[in-house]
Amino acid sequence: MTGKEFWHYKHKMGPVTTFCCGPNNRGVAISGGKLFMGTLDAKLVALDAKTGKLLWRPRSPTPRRATARRCRPPWSTARC
């Protein structure tokens, strides 16, 4: 391990965003060559783990009905 950064992903936040817990990491999970990340504006994105390219971003609730992700994606077994 060298600590070298291979890629960087910057999520574009929705128009109305209220930080409930600060703009920090909401958790990630890796499976099948994809990196899944819960975002502060209640979105869930999938990135190619090798390139960082956005693979998909499903439709999510509008900001008024959304809640921020505070931890890892729900299917991950990692502890918060």
As given in the structure block, the two tokens for residue 64 are 């008024």
> Which amino acid is located at 33 in the chain?
G
pLDDT in tens, 19-77: 666 666 667 899 999 999 888 777 788 999 999 999 987 765 555 555 555 555 566 66
Order the strands of the 44-48 sheet from edge to edge. Answer: 28-31, 34-38, 44-48, 54-56
Give Cα separations from 39 to 2, 9, 24, 78 (angstroms).
27, 12, 9, 17
On whether the pTM is more than 0.85, the answer is no
Asked if residues 48 and 55 have their Cβ atoms less than 8 Å apart, the reply is yes
